[in-house]
């Protein structure tokens, strides 16, 4: 049983915070499969600071979405990308020209996400609403294996 990784994400459209929860599918393959919506729209609260020491997780591998992933809870975007300048995640409507909701870095996304920086789930934490998800077969493939990143500001 592998550990989920939760990555704090900002909606590119509304700038609201949520967490994408990734599970490991095979060795080195991480699939987004659900989201958590923090009750408080503050970055520290949403990240889990203050109640338990969040265990920082840094994993590498192929990153994509599971077929069960519903996308951003605040807008219709079904994907996400990561900013090369601030390393944060934004939801993504699959337009190539993007603006980072965290640091306002703008540009064109390229390549693919090859690592995640997040935290282990905070069991029973007060800031997140946890919705049980149905078990899925372990051999499911990523439905979108090539989510992009925005090159860092030069
Ligand atoms: Zn969104
Ligand atoms: Zn950024």
- pLDDT tens digits, residue range 89-102? 999 999 999 999 99
pTM summary value: 0.80
Q: Which of 61, 4, 69 is nearest to 29 (CA)?
A: 61
Cα 110 to ligand 2 centre (Å): 14
Cα 49 to ligand 2 centre (Å): 21
Which strand (E) or helix (H) includes residue 59?
strand 56-60
Choose the weakest-confidence range: 78-82, 83-87, 125-129: 125-129
Cα 1 to ligand 1 centre (Å): 30
**Pairing verdict, β 106-108 and 29-36:** unpaired
Cα 1 to ligand 2 centre (Å): 33
User: Quick one: which ligand is closest to 84's CA?
Assistant: 2
pLDDT-derived band at 57 (thresholds 50, 70, 90) equals confident
Residue, of 25 and 77, whose pLDDT is higher:
77
């Amino acid at each position: 049983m592998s550990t989920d990784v939760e990555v704090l994400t900002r909606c590119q459209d509304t700038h609201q915070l949520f967490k994408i929860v990734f599970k490991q599918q095979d060795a080195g393959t991480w699939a987004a499969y659900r989201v958590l919506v923090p009750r408080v729209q503050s970055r520290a609260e949403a990240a889990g600071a203050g109640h338990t020491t969040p265990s920082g997780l840094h994993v590498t591998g192929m990153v994509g979405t599971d077929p069960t992933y519903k996308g951003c809870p605040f807008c219709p975007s079904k994907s996400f990308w990561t900013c090369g300048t601030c390393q944060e995640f934004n939801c993504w409507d699959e337009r190539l020209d993007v603006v980072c909701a965290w640091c306002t870095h703008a540009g064109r996304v390229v390549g693919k996400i090859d690592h995640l920086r997040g935290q282990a789930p905070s069991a029973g934490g007060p800031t997140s609403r946890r919705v049980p998800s149905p078990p899925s077969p372990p051999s499911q493939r990523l439905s979108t294996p090539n989510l992009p990143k925005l090159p860092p500001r030069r």
